[in-house]
Chains A and B, each alone.
Chain A
Amino acid sequence: MASMHPTPSGTRDVLPDEMRELRAITDAMRQVFERHGYGEVWTPAIEYESIVGRLDGRNGGYRLFDDHGSVLRLRSDITVPVARVAATRYAAAQPPLRFCSFAHVYRGVKPGRGQMREFLQAGVELIGSPGPDGTAEVLAILCEALEAAGLREYRIGLGDAGLYPALLGAVGVDAPTADRILDALVARDLVRLGVEVHSIGLDAQTTELLLDVPQLRGGIEILDSVPEQVATDRLRAVHRAVPADVAERLIFDLGLVRDLDYYTGAVFEIYDPAAGMPLGGGGRYDDLVGRFGRDLPAVGFAVDMNGLHIALAGEERGEGSPGRLAPGAEGGNVA
């Protein structure tokens, strides 16, 4: 009875047929990263909780003690360890610094299709290159890497982590209420968001604005309907800085928030019609590297390789074909 020797929940073995396909995908992506000067790094799977734990948000899941009683933590993302590497191993190097990484990360999620507790991420981090040019460079590399892997129908949702908080502040919403509203947005609960916004008692026009903005997604023109300058200008600048073929893939999404606290500006997610979940994402984290002692703006992304593999297989079966999704028209962006 082979089934009497299980692996821990949310983990699994990868056997040769799958491994050959996965290896082909990762090799194709690694070549793209290396070609653009992103050198591959390995970091430990375990780090001190005291150093990385407070930075990587709610996704932590596995902690253990070492023989001195220090709390260790299995990494739950790649960005924080690479930020540590950049600030400590390259303390005097001339920026920008470019790194890529292929590593397993560990999260305490409920396992399901495409959601494992141990999963392989591929990502790059560009450190010392501010927006919009740094953001544009990373978006272009993301698209090139996805295409090298063979993905065809993908789109990139692009938002700004600072936009909605700035809007809430501008209309005078106090911090605790703003936190509750943002919490509802992170939970994708627009009904609760509506209840919270209505409970503030703002005038009808402002209330409508706060309800509409998180639901705006489409082409660059949606930015015109938002009375906020800083974040929307950041997004326009990114749009101008990316190559045309990347711009065609973008869906501006003003409700896009990532569930990690360290994002400071542009944030993005990868969607494919052949997969039910985002395939990964990233964004700017201009304050994170500074917390390790070297103040540098940074941007990066991580792709969930299992999700990408599922999407590739789905596209092969025709799930991403135009019959299922009218390209361009549905996303609202026909740049």
Chain B
Amino acid sequence: MSPRNGLTIAVPRGALMGDTLDLLDRLGIDTAEVRANDRKLLFEDVGIVTMRPSDVPTYVEAGAADIGITGKDVLLEQPERAVYELLDLGYGRCTMVLASVAGPDPGAEALRRLGVMRVATKYTRIARTFFEQTGRQVELVEVKGSVELAPLTGMVDAIVDLTATGTTLRENGLVVREEICVATARLIANPVAHKLKAAAIDELLERLRAG
């Protein structure tokens, strides 16, 4: 696997993919084949592997990719991953929020009367840390699919979820109660590649910083 700069890059599929491929184009890495091939995952000629964003730290930590791009939300959710976080790429800006159904806040009501708020989320690490830091007792319910459904069915009092525009929340009658953190795309690197391929990684960083 030996693209022109010697680096294997883990590229996230999904919302971050378009901006990421644009960025790689500007760096002179030909992404035409990646754009044309929706099913293919491994592009050896240009040193690109594609995967879901939450898998990027896994591949980079193992050294299967030298560097990768993923959301800060993913990194916060997997804090034990031994990878370098090199650069805030700025795009893919989303906000992690605490939201609940419009009207009187059911979360606050549950906390006051029952002492515990039930919260659905895909981001259990981020949510747990947030509620510990703000001193609130919660029962976290981990869901894999559309989190917005959970409060609408009465299963939980609130949700912790990532939102870019707030449209999905609004369409489901949910309002943002608190903002937890802002997440953008980050460039990460394998700790060994960061040393053994220092020149290639530094050159890439320099060009990214130069815009």
State whether A275 touches B63 (Cβ < 8 A): yes
Task: Say if the beta carbon of B165 comes within 8 Å of chain A.
Answer: no
Instruction: Determine the distance from Cα of A329 to Cα of B197 in the docked complex, in whole angstroms.
Output: 9
Contacts of A276 in B (CB 8 A): 61-64, 190-192
What's the Cα separation between A112 and B63 when bound, in Å?
13
Task: Say how far A283's CB is from chain B's closest CB, in angstroms.
Answer: 16
| CB contact list, B186-211 vs A, under 8 A | 186, 190-192, 194-200, 202
**Of A189, A272, A278, which contacts B191 at CB under 8 A?**
A278
Distance A306 CA – B200 CA, assembled complex (angstroms):
29
Name the residue in B1, B186, B199 with the highest tally of chain A Cβ atoms < 10 Å from its Cβ. B199
Interface string of A63-107 (1 = CB under 8 A from B): 000000000000000000000000000000000000000000000
In angstroms, Cα B83 to Cα A184, docked, is 12
Cβ B200 vs Cβ A277 within 8 A: no
- CB < 8 Å: which of B192, B196, B202 contacts A215? B202
A54 within 8 A of B: no
B195 touches which one: A109, A190, A217, A275 (CB < 8 A)? A217
The prevalent SS among residues of A at the interface is: loop
Complex Cα distance A329/B87, Å?
24
**Chain B 42-70 interface mask (CB, 8 Å, partner A; 1/0):** 00000000000000000001111000000
- Would A277 and B198 be within 8 Å (CB), given that A271-B192, A330-B6 are in contact? no
A273 at the interface (CB under 8 A from B): yes
Count how many chain B residues have C-beta atoms less than 8 Å from C-beta atoms of the other chain: 27
Are the C-beta atoms of A324 and B1 separated by less than 8 Å? yes
Nearest-Cβ distance from residue A162 to partner chain B, whole angstroms: 20
Chain A residues near B197 (CB-CB < 8 A): 325, 330
- The answer to whether B85 touches A192, judged by C-beta atoms less than 8 angstroms apart, is yes
Q: In the assembled complex, how far is the CB of residue A153 from the closest CB belonging to chain B, in whole angstroms?
A: 9
Interface secondary structure of B, over-half rule = mixed
Residues from chain B with Cβ under 8 Å of A330 in the complex: 6, 196-200
Inter-chain CA distance A332–B196, complex, in Å, is 8
B143 interfacial contact with A, CB 8 Å? no
Q: Is the CB of A191 within 8 A of B87?
A: yes
Contacts of A332 in B (CB 8 A): 198-199
Measured in the bound complex, the distance between the Cα atoms of B164 and A26 in whole Å is: 54
B83 to chain A: closest residue by CB: A188
Q: Are B85 and A191 in contact (CB under 8 A)?
A: yes
In the complex formed, the residue of A with least CB distance to B8 is: A324
**A148-163: which have CB < 8 Å to B?**
155, 157
Q: Which of B139-161 contact A (CB under 8 A)?
A: none
A251 within 8 A of B: yes
- Least CB separation from A269: chain B residue: B195
Complex contact A155–B195 (CB within 8 A): yes
- Shortest Cβ distance from A273 into B: residue: B196
B133 at the interface (CB under 8 A from A): no
- Kindly state whether residue A323 has any CB partner on chain B within 8 Å: yes
Instruction: Report A-chain residues with C-beta under 8 Å of the C-beta of B194.
Output: 217
Q: Enumerate chain B residues within 8 angstroms of A271, measured Cβ to Cβ.
A: 192, 195-196
A interface footprint on B74-95 (CB within 8 Å = 1, 0 otherwise): 0000001011111110000000
Q: Output the least CB separation between B163 and chain A (Å).
A: 22
Is the pair A325, B196 in contact by a Cβ cutoff of 8 Å?
Answer: yes
- The B1-49 residues at the A interface (CB cut-off 8 A) are 1-2, 6
Residue contacts A-B, CB under 8 angstroms, 21 given: A188-B83, A188-B85, A189-B84, A190-B84, A190-B86, A191-B85, A191-B86, A191-B87, A192-B85, A194-B88, A217-B194, A217-B198, A272-B192, A275-B63, A276-B62, A276-B192, A277-B82, A324-B1, A326-B6, A330-B199, A331-B199
Which 9 residue pairs spanning A and B have beta carbons closest together? A276-B63, A188-B84, A189-B85, A276-B62, A271-B192, A330-B197, A217-B198, A191-B88, A110-B80
User: Which of A's residues lie within 8 Å of B, judged by CB?
Assistant: 109-110, 112-113, 155, 157, 188-192, 194, 215, 217-218, 251, 253, 269, 271-273, 275-278, 323-326, 329-332
